[in-house]
Amino acid sequence: MRTGIAFISVVALFAAAARGAGEDAGFFENRLVRVPLSLKPAKGTPGEDGAVPAVSIPLKDGTSIEIFNETGNFPGEGGGAAPRNVAEGRPVTRISAAAGKLHCVKVQFGDSTLFAYRRGRLYRGALVSMGAEYVISVKLPPGRVFDKEIRRILKRVGLAPLPGCGVEAAIAFYGGECGVPAKERAETVKKIARRRPQCCELLELLIDAAQDSETVAWCEKRLSRWNPAKYGSVGADSADEYDPSDPAQRAAVEELCEAAR
């Protein structure tokens, strides 16, 4: 019998379609950050450091959170390197290992886990989404932490899939009412997942396609490790301040945010 994660994965594959019929019938998108219109998103304005948030989202108390995508290559705007296709390497293992050397929070961002350290009110970190690696920053209002309201918002924020990664196409073709015979579907999805190491969306698709409990258990074990904010318990709601004078912490930050180089 498939467990709760298997059920959640099926829900995840259809989430976008389900929202399209309800309150999230439209999206605001800026710098690859995609937000449901029901959250009342707006394009961010430059802050004190001159950085322009991809999106600003209002909170109930009249303040707002600001989200920065630091990996987009935006001509004329000083963007960093383009998001990296993670077809090779073990990106989440590297990110989580670096986060373990810092005081980090693990927050669900869309269907992925953002591993982020803190500098003042800005939480900066890395995540892997739909086969690409990103560096994302979230700026919280004064006195706020990753409470229930902010966590609920970030779960509904996502990143537009990049062309060329193949994950979106695989989910669209092999998910849902796929016409491919069950055995062939499972075998094909398993091959695709192996070519995209630590891509959690493909592991979710593999759970849905799997014909045996051993494969399901294998996927579930990895999802709990590689996507802890979604498949584990809610972690800390804040982090200790990052100390740039500590060489070990500086090295860990460089490792964590390698995609931004």
Residues 73-127 have pLDDT tens digits of 554 454 445 677 777 778 999 999 999 999 999 999 999 999 999 999 999 999 9
Taking CA atoms, 99 is separated from 105, 125, 137, 154, 232, in Å, by 8, 9, 15, 19, 16
* Residue that wins the pLDDT comparison between 44 and 56: 56
Q: How would you classify residue 43: left for phi > 0, otherwise alpha for psi between -120 and 50, otherwise beta?
A: beta
**Residue 67 token pair:** 């989200």
* Contact criterion met (CB below 8 Å) for 149 and 59: yes
Residue 195, pLDDT score: 82
Three-state secondary structure call for residue 36? strand
Instruction: Look up the pTM and report it.
Output: 0.85
Residue 13, pLDDT score: 41
**Residue 19 token pair:** 């929202």
- What lies within 8 Å, CB to CB, of 115 at 6+ separation is 95, 96, 98, 99, 104, 105, 106, 125, 126, 127, 256
Residue 72, pLDDT score: 64
